[in-house]
Amino acid sequence: MAYSDYGGYAYRNGERVEDRSDCTITPEGDTFGTPGMWPGFTKALIFGIESSATDWPDGHAVLGDGPIFLVLYKQTQFHIHRGFIEVDPVALLHPASQDIGAVRTFTAKDGAVSIYIDTDYFCDTEEPCRFLVDGCLIEIWWTQEDNFYQYARLTQPDGTVWTGWSGYGVGAGFEDGDYGYSNAAREEMLKQLLVT
**Tell me: the pLDDT tens digits for 78-115?**
999 999 899 999 888 877 766 667 888 889 999 999 88
85 falls within a domain: yes
Pairing of strands 58-63, 68-73: antiparallel
Q: Determine the pLDDT at residue 1.
A: 35
For residues 123 and 2, what is the distance between their CA atoms, to the nearest angstrom?
Answer: 27
Could you tell me the pTM of the whole model? 0.89
| Structural domains counted in the chain | 1
- The mean pLDDT value of the chain amounts to 87
- Domain of residue 67, residue span: 6-190
Pick from 27-31, 68-72, 128-132, 170-174: least confident: 27-31
* Closest C-alpha to 23, from 34, 12, 15: 34
- Average of pLDDT values for 114-134? 91
149 falls within a domain: yes
Q: What angle do CA 4, 141, 180 make, to 5 degrees?
A: 40
Q: Determine the pLDDT at residue 47.
A: 62
39 falls within a domain: yes
Which pairs from 138-145 meet CB under 8 Å and 24+ separation?
138/68, 138/70, 138/80, 138/92, 140/70, 140/78, 141/193, 142/75, 142/76, 143/189, 143/193, 145/185, 145/189
- Average of pLDDT values for 118-141? 93
For residues 74 and 61, what is the distance between their CA atoms, to the nearest angstrom?
Answer: 9
176 falls within a domain: yes
